[in-house]
Structure 1
Amino acid sequence: MKEKISSLTSSTISALRFPLTVGVVFIHFNVLSDNLAVRGTGNAEHFPTWLVCMFNLFSEVLPRIAVPLFFIISGYLFFRSGFMIRTYTDKLRRRVRTLLVPYILWNLLYLIRTAFRDIPAFSGLSHDTAQANWSLSAVLACFWDKSRGVFPVPASSYIYPQDFPLWYVRDLMVMVVLAPVFYWMLKKVGWLAVVVLGMVWLALHSICNITYWGQFFTAAFFFSWGACYGLKGMDLVASMRHRTWIALLYPLWAVADMLKVEGIYGIYIHNIGIIFGIFSAVVLTAYLLERGVIRVNKFLSDGSFFLYALHALLMLVLARCITKVFFVDSLFYTVALYFIVPCLTTAVSFGLYELLRRYTPRICAVLTGGR
């Protein structure tokens, strides 16, 4: 058995959960995107350069470390106590409760919410136009690839379930099933396996239309990175602190990424920046915790999965309600909307989480996997 996780590493992981999840919310409310279908968003060419840079920074640069870092943490925690077949089967059983059951329930909830688009009172809150297909194959497809689901949408480079942010949970379950393969690779060649997976990840993301393999190798690279720390008994925070120079490089790298260099160089700048940003987030969070500048808020940490799973169902509904009640065609309005909607989504999500936790704790526990 490996040594227990240090208090600082445990606190760092807990402290990171909330800001990383809020970052995911900002990723999904990028007002430069034409896919939001919310008044006042899209048409990036109409925004001044400084505003485009700001939106890029808060939706495409800083928060893009979130899911990769979640995979690192998951791999680290999964392998921290070593690996044996008996303990592996025990961990698989626990992941049914903590991952599979919430994954199924949240996708069902999203499917029910999407079905409301055919009700006249709610039709204005949805911009879906596809004809519903309630065949068994379409319903089952919602749990893997919503482009072939009940409400088909055009296929994109990536494959998402109905509650699309939960592609992370879906692929984490794939990584858990493949854990014996990761164990064998890491025991045989150690960090070389991580480096090779990282190179594949970088190479795939420079190719257009990479489909599911881009997501798979994102999960495989970062999960194996954390797994290698765990199997070798390395402390996550202490190990990353040995590379503090990488963390210090990140602000300059983030600026370069924010400016959106075109072509393949821009893709490499972005993806290498994710690696630098992970070091920076862990090192900075640990530093602030040690000096008492911040402390772990258990409520925010525990409720972060609820926010992660719910925000996609809630965010666009709130945005469209706001723009129906009050809309001004101005840059100031767009900037205000950009910050208000994610903040309101976060506040409402945690309000609902607290209500469920207080009055229906069993339902809350099932939806959050007992977190």
Structure 2
Amino acid sequence: MEESQFRKKIHWFNFCFSLLVIWVHSANAELYLGRGQESYFVYQIEDFFSNVIGQIAVPGFFMISAYLFFRNFSWNQLMNKWNSRIKTILVPYIVWNFIYYMGYVIASRIDGLTEVVGKGVVPFHIWNAADAVMNYTYNYVFWYLYQLILLILLTPVLYGILKNKFAAVPFFYVVIWGIAEGKQFYYLNPDALFYYSVAAFIGINGRELAETAWSQKRFWVGVLAAGAGIFCFHAYGKQQQALLLVMFRLLTPISLWLLVNEGRLAQARPWMKNNFFLYAVHFAIVRLINKTGAEFLPHVPAVPMLLYFIMPFLCAVISSFMAVCLKRWSPSAWRLLTGGRET
């Protein structure tokens, strides 16, 4: 496919994954209805979209990030790549974690917001601030960026292994073994390493497979990949083996990439490209809407279900309005918060 079509497809996938990840954090059946029989049906529906459909989003993010990083990669690009990611990932990671910490500190001291925050009075201290910045203590959705930073730091190791197809085989065997056995590779999640490494391997060794123009052949390969993913999920339901769930979450984004015809996609609108900002602010928006709604709206099943399904679109609209204001009134703050990403 042409470069313009490739970029368009990336924008669309990032935007759609951003909407899906909002569903992961939007579950509200218990908040509105408690744990009684009345909430069971709503809980089941929300659980399916949050913990089945929505959970393919972050693996998709890992795979897109890895592919873009290792696409056309060579050793002499390492420092430039690292310097670029300091700006686009590390700096926003630090800034947003501090913003969330200060937000909790302030809100936890304001009557009426303490209950919404739900953490009591958050202590204001340099060590608490350092912990919040380093360990995403008050911004736990940034666990993804934490893992991504670790994976980017491992670039020399990963590239050295993955560019050699024979070395990649035992490497993937160890990672798969770690997932199956529930191991933790120090601070690195084995499933995050798996998603990232598979896409990195494709970016290094199989660009022609990933970027060939859509065709009927690619469509049917996508159908097979989707079928394999569904089979893994069905088997997971019976065996509760973590590796099967990870394979479902790997194969689903791959199948979608193969199934979607980039030639039929419209150009991504500018507001659809603010995905990092949407990811950063969505949890605060979701929590505010759900907590406020639980105070003032009727506690009947239709209310939480409606809010749940429109939540991604509410977050997209609110974050887009915030983005417009920031770009207009404080473009330097916008660049800092988003790492100077393309908009």
- TM-score strictly above 0.5: yes
How far did residue 217 of structure 1 move?
Answer: 1.6
Matched to 2:35, the amino acid is N
Q: Are 1:43 and 2:18 an aligned pair? A: no
For 2:67, the equivalent position in structure 1 comes to 76
Q: Is the 8 A contact 1:31 1:338 kept in 2?
A: yes
Q: In the TM superposition, what whole-angstrom CA distance separates every residue of 1:164-189 from its partner, at most 9, and x where no partner exists?
A: 11111121111111100001111333
Q: Is the 8 A contact 1:97 1:369 kept in 2?
A: yes
Q: Is the 8 A contact 1:39 1:320 kept in 2?
A: no
For 2:12, the equivalent position in structure 1 comes to 15
How far did residue 62 of structure 1 move?
Answer: 1.4
How far did residue 190 of structure 1 move?
Answer: 5.3
For 2:153, the equivalent position in structure 1 comes to 177
Q: Within 2, Cα distance between the matches of 1:161 and 1:262? A: 35
- The structure 2 residue matched to 1:296, chosen from 267, 273, 295, is 267
SS at match of 2:23: helix
Q: Is the 8 A contact 1:303 1:350 kept in 2?
A: yes
Q: Are 1:349 and 2:319 an aligned pair? A: yes
1:131-170 equivalences under 5 Å are 132-145=122-135, 160-170=136-146
Q: Is the 8 A contact 1:98 1:368 kept in 2?
A: yes
SS at match of 2:86: helix
SS at match of 2:207: coil
Q: Within 1, Cα distance between the matches of 2:292 and 2:88? A: 33
Gaps of 5+ in 1: 146-159
- The structure 2 residue matched to 1:247, chosen from 219, 222, 225, is 225
Instruction: Compute the TM-score of the two structures, normalised by the length of structure 1.
Output: 0.79
SS at match of 2:74: coil
How far did residue 344 of structure 1 move?
Answer: 1.8
RMSD: 3.0
CA distance change for structure 1 residues 45 and 174 in 2, over 3 Å: closer, same or farther? Answer: farther
Q: Within 1, Cα distance between the matches of 2:131 and 2:174? A: 28
Q: In the TM superposition, what whole-angstrom CA distance separates every residue of 1:185-229 from its partner, at most 9, and x where no partner exists?
A: 11333542563255135315xx4xx67858522221111112112
SS at match of 1:142: helix
1:213-224 equivalences under 5 Å are 216-224=189-197
Matched to 1:296, the amino acid is Q
Q: Are 1:277 and 2:252 an aligned pair? A: yes
Q: Within 2, Cα distance between the matches of 1:332 and 1:82? A: 50
Matched to 1:164, the amino acid is Y
Q: Within 2, Cα distance between the matches of 1:135 and 1:337? A: 36
Q: Within 2, Cα distance between the matches of 1:310 and 1:104? A: 14
How far did residue 308 of structure 1 move?
Answer: 0.2
For 1:109, the equivalent position in structure 2 comes to 99
Q: Are 1:25 and 2:16 an aligned pair? A: no
Greater mean deviation of Cα atoms: 245-254 or 185-194: 245-254
Q: Within 1, Cα distance between the matches of 2:338 and 2:172? A: 33
Q: In the TM superposition, what whole-angstrom CA distance separates every residue of 1:55-98 from its partner, at most 9, and x where no partner exists?
A: 233111112111111111111111112221x4211111111111
Q: Within 2, Cα distance between the matches of 1:311 and 1:337? A: 14
How far did residue 307 of structure 1 move?
Answer: 0.4
Q: Are 1:122 and 2:113 an aligned pair? A: yes
Identity %: 23
For 1:333, the equivalent position in structure 2 comes to 303
CA distance change for structure 1 residues 310 and 200 in 2, over 3 Å: closer, same or farther? Answer: farther
How far did residue 254 of structure 1 move?
Answer: 8.8
Matched to 2:204, the amino acid is L
SS at match of 1:261: helix
Name the structure with the higher helix share: 2
Greater mean deviation of Cα atoms: 182-191 or 15-24: 182-191
Q: Are 1:58 and 2:49 an aligned pair? A: yes
Matched to 1:229, the amino acid is I
Q: Is the 8 A contact 1:244 1:283 kept in 2?
A: yes
CA distance change for structure 1 residues 245 and 92 in 2, over 3 Å: closer, same or farther? Answer: same
1:185-204 equivalences under 5 Å are 185-188=161-164, 189=166, 191-192=168-169, 195-196=172-173, 198-200=175-177, 202-204=179-181
Matched to 1:114, the amino acid is Y
Gaps of 5+ in 2: none
For 2:205, the equivalent position in structure 1 comes to 232
Matched to 1:249, the amino acid is G
Greater mean deviation of Cα atoms: 214-223 or 175-184: 214-223
Q: Within 2, Cα distance between the matches of 1:46 and 1:184? A: 55
How far did residue 272 of structure 1 move?
Answer: 2.3
Q: Within 1, Cα distance between the matches of 2:84 and 2:94? A: 15
Greater mean deviation of Cα atoms: 241-250 or 303-312: 241-250
Q: Within 1, Cα distance between the matches of 2:128 and 2:97? A: 13
Q: Is the 8 A contact 2:60 2:253 kept in 1?
A: yes
